[in-house]
Amino acid sequence: MTSPTKINWVCYLLQCADQTLYCGITNDLDKRLAAHNAGEGAKYTRGRSPVTLVYREFYDDKSAALKREMQIKKMPRSEKLALCGELGAR
């Protein structure tokens, strides 16, 4: 029996066209970004495209990624911007 392929989870931050930030998780970042930009991603990002990936963190399991997503979503905007290194640019 072969061992299952390890799925890496990603917690990510997007900057939307209206300059708002969106946080989510996925196990296929390229596919998820394409979905967001095609208007097929999260309800929040529909109508706010194009979106740009500004930050990501990798996790070994979905549970850890979900916990981090919740932490980031509770942060004020200034802390989210500091995470992706944009605080000084704004």
CATH class for the domain made up of 9-89 = alpha beta
Res. 23: pLDDT tops 80: yes
* More confidently predicted of 73 and 3: 73
Q: Side chain identity at 71, as an amino acid letter?
A: Q
Distance of CA 8 to the CA centre of its chain: 14
Res. 90: pLDDT tops 60: no
Q: State pTM to two decimals.
A: 0.85
Percentage above 90 pLDDT, the chain: 73
Residue 2: phi, psi to the nearest 5? -90, 150
* More confidently predicted of 87 and 67: 67
pLDDT given for residue 2 in this prediction = 44
